[in-house]
Structure 1
Amino acid sequence: MTDQWKDSYDVVIVGGGAAGLNGALMLGRSRRSVVVIDSGTPRNAPAEGVHGLLALDGIAPAELLERGRAEVRGYGGQIVDGEVVSVARDEDGFTVTLADENIVRARRVLVATGLTDEIPDIPGLRQRWGRDVVHCPYCHGWEVRDQAIGVLGTGPMSVHQTLLFRQLSADVVYFANTAPLTAEQAAQLDARGVRVIDGAVASVEIADDRLAGVRLVDGTFVAREAVAVASRMVARAGFLAPLGLEPVAHPSGMGEHIPTDPMGRTEVPGIWVAGNVTDLSAQVGAAAAAGAMAGAQINADLVNDEIRQALIPQP
């Protein structure tokens, strides 16, 4: 469903995931006019359920978003399907342009577009992504507990990832692939009983619509029921570049994000961001909480702006 929208709002929210919808909820409850523009491409769409979310553990991603949309609409917020291609400053705020050339004005903008998971170009990985090819032990670990798990070495987070998945299964193999181990890392894995297999990975093989195992370049096949791989996470925020906001390297080395202060405020006055676009490791609950915080801060900023305007002497 797409709402009929107006020409201008107090706040335009770009992105209708947990962060964007919770931001809209807070703003709607503050009697702000708000519209959420959503492209319909949530990061967690391939997953069967959202996990680690109190009172809603296991809920289907689509159901969570539909519930959130209904709550936002209940407070007068609007939801519009579309893709934002640019945000530009004007005299009184911002002009937001969509791919279909629709234009809407906003006094403030909250960006909650999430991130893109960049995974190695290894045959089979993308096909099983979010099912038996996973990345987060807290999002998917329980679902693959006690299975034969393989972790692909791809970068600085791979050993850490392996040690966390070892907490969930006694049968964990580390495929060194492109991330050979230091002596310290090798000792850590050995201490936890993780077998290390050297050599580059050629493919993740599938049989009967499920993961069968990992094939190395030298032809060796290792049967696995699940594979974990650390993605490189990159903020979806290209449309902010003309404003001087571009993704930068995250301190963790996990990818690129848009930096903010603790409240979600960016270096550009009037632009806030929340969720995975700034916090790469945030799960759904944390992203929603960040959206709520940003929404509250935006409302307070608007209140202060309205007070300043009211105190300007009239001619």
Structure 2
Amino acid sequence: MTDQMVPGPEVSDGLDESYDVVVVGGGSAGLSAGLMLGRALRRVAVVDAGAPRNAPAHEVHGLLGRDGTPPAELLARGRSEVRRYGGHVVVGTVGQVSGTDGAFTVDLADGRTTLARKLLVTTGLADELPDVAGLRERWGRDVLHCPYCHGWEVRGQAIGVVASGPMALHQVLLFRQWSDDVTLFTHTQDAPSPEDAERLAARGIGVVEGRVASVEVRDDRVTGLRLADGTLVAREAVVVGTYMRARADLLGALGLEAVPHPSGTGEHVPADPVGRTAVPGVSVAGNVTDLTAQVGAAAAAGAMAAAVLNADLVTEETATAVQAARTSRVA
């Protein structure tokens, strides 16, 4: 796993007895949802355990208007915005959730408990790295996975792509866009098929067969990949495909579990296009359901899921008001 802690809120808000919506997870999706719900005059709490996926990265890229912002700074801004509209940002880890639509119980690991009419889970995912010495230590710096997140930063460098999943060929061809010097290391996978070898050769991508043993580092910079037979291949940046596992254990009590993603790259919690899951009143947003969502996409999904939850609450409140009016007329 690659979970790392980053500075959370300097001050944790108190946890009220009940909310319209409890958002579990304080990353871009969760904070965006909290912002939307706060602006909708909803009682909302965002429970933040302080372990965002992008903690190892120095900057967020590809986010319009905030490109190059450090992740911790972006989250701090988001927390401030949620609070501006009356939302609570609570430091803590949700241990379990139970109940049904309209009456969920949210238990924190430290013993605190609150009630929620609706739940939005934005707990993200954990990246499981291949078993290669040195990968984890350099993760998010010069060991990368996403060309759109980090390709510009390693443009023109000697890049080594360690085959570690079903998307390895796709990944190496993508990174070729950012550098003329890209090599595929087959690692534990089979050598490319004749057709794939032709495609790689046509793009000038080299292939090195054999297991990769370690990432070599000198003066705090990657210098190459060492194979199990001792061969050292000079590289300046390393790319791997991680197995992306949704952080969804807390949903088990509600009958929701992460399932294999169709791409074969990990596990996610299925949902419809606006975040609704198979369990009424429970929605998901961000990487817990969309494994490839970057920060902007996750934030947008959080906002959409929040808007839909608010609309559902409005519908329920209207139905209650109609019934009350009918009862009053009868009386």
For the aligned pair, the TM-score class normalised by the smaller chain equals: over 0.9
Q: Is the 8 A contact 1:153 1:177 kept in 2?
A: yes
* CA–CA separation in structure 2 for the residues paired with 1:46 and 1:99: 25
1:30 equivalent among 35, 40, 46: 40
Equivalent residue in structure 1 for 2:143, among 117, 133, 141: 133
> More deviation in 302-311 or 214-223?
302-311
Matching residue within 246, 249, 252 for 2:257? 246
C-alpha displacement at 1:310, in angstroms? 1.9
Match of 1:114 in 2: 124
Letter paired with 2:234: A
Task: Report the secondary structure of 2:120's partner residue.
Answer: strand
Whether the aligned pair in 1 keeps the contact of 2:100 and 2:280 (CA below 8 Å) is no
CA distance in 2, matches of 1:88, 1:289: 27
CA distance in 2, matches of 1:183, 1:69: 52
Q: Which residue of 2 aligns with 1:88?
A: 98
Counterpart for residue 305 of structure 1: 316
Runs of 4 or more off by more than 2 Å in structure 1?
311-315
* Equivalent residue number for residue 203 of structure 2: 192
Letter in 2 for 1:235: A
Query: How far apart are residue 157 of structure 1 and its match?
Result: 0.6
Between the aligned partners of 1:189 and 1:246, the Cα distance in structure 2 is 38
Whether the aligned pair in 2 keeps the contact of 1:214 and 1:223 (CA below 8 Å) is yes
**Counterparts in 2 of 1:98-113, with a 5 A limit?**
98-113=108-123
Alignment partner, residue 278 of structure 2: 267
User: Residue 294 of structure 2 is aligned with which of 279, 283, 308?
Assistant: 283
Separation in structure 2 between the aligned mates of residue 236 and residue 206 of structure 1, nearest angstrom = 31
- Identity %, equivalent residues: 62
1:117-169 residue CA offsets vs partner (Å, 9 max, x unmatched): 01112100000000000000000110011111000011211110000111000
Distance apart, 1:184 and its partner CA: 1.9
Alignment of 1:195-206 (within 5 A): 195-206=206-217
CA distance in 1, matches of 2:62, 2:161: 22
TM-score normalized by the length of structure 1: 0.98
2:77 to 64, 67, 86: 67
Secondary structure of 1:162's aligned partner: helix
Show CA shifts across 1:18-70 (max 9, x none).
Answer: 10011111101110000000000010011010000011101000000000111
Deviations 1:56-106 (A, max 9, x none): 101000000000111110000010010111110158410001110110100
Q: Does 1:232 align with 2:250?
A: no
Deviation of 1:208 (Å):
1.4
The TM-score normalised by the length of structure 2 is 0.93
Q: Does 1:47 align with 2:57?
A: yes
- Are 1:211 and 2:222 counterparts? yes
Q: Which runs of 5+ in 2 are unaligned?
A: 1-10
RMSD of Structure 2 on Structure 1 (CA): 1.1
Alpha-carbon distance in 2 for matches of 1:7, 1:122: 47
The alpha-carbon distance between structure 1 residues 54 and 91, as it changes in their structure 2 partners (threshold 3 A), is closer
Q: What SS is found at the alignment partner of 2:195?
A: helix
Q: How many residues align?
A: 315
State the alpha-carbon separation in 2 of the partners of residues 91 and 247 from structure 1. Answer: 20
